[in-house]
C-alpha cells in the first residue's frame, strides 16, 4: 500500500478531521460507543469502513454506531476509560 487513501484504518485525530469534529469530541464519541475504534498496541484507530457507513447514515447489521465493535476505548494519553 502506497498511499494514505488505501489504509483500512485512520488515527483518531484524522477521523476527527474527516468528520469535522474536534479530537476531544472524537475520543468522547469512542468512549460512548458512538464511533467505533480498535486498539493496536498503544494506538487507537478508527476503521475507514465505519466512517463511511456513519456518513452514509447506515450502521452495521442492525446495531447502533460502535456496537459492532463492542469497543469501550479510553484516551490513550491518560489510560483511563
Q: Render each residue's pLDDT in the chain as its tens digit; 81 residues.
A: 456 678 999 999 999 999 999 999 999 999 999 999 999 999 999 999 999 988 888 654 444 444 444 454 555 555 555
Would residue 27 count as lying in a domain? yes
Q: Would residue 1 count as lying in a domain?
A: no
Q: 2 in a domain, yes or no?
A: no
Q: Which residues of 16-42 are buried (b: 16+ CB within 10 A; e: fewer)?
A: beebeeeeeebbebbbebebbbeeeee
Within a domain: 55? yes
Whether pTM > 0.85 for this model: the answer is no
- For 45, the domain range is 7-81
Distance in angstroms (rounded) separating the CA atoms of residues 20 and 41: 26
Residue 25 lies in a domain: yes
Work out how many domains the chain is built from and give that number. 1
The answer as to whether 48 is a domain residue is: yes
Domain annotation covers residue 18: yes
Amino acid at each position: 500500500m502506497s498511499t494514505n487513501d488505501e489504509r483500512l484504518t485512520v488515527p483518531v485525530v484524522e477521523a476527527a478531521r474527516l468528520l469535522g469534529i474536534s479530537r476531544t469530541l472524537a475520543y468522547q464519541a469512542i468512549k460512548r460507543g458512538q464511533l467505533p475504534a480498535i486498539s493496536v498496541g498503544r494506538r487507537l484507530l478508527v476503521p475507514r469502513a465505519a466512517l463511511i457507513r456513519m456518513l452514509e447514515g447506515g450502521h452495521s447489521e442492525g446495531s447502533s454506531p460502535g456496537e459492532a465493535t463492542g469497543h469501550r476505548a479510553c484516551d490513550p494519553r491518560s489510560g483511563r476509560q
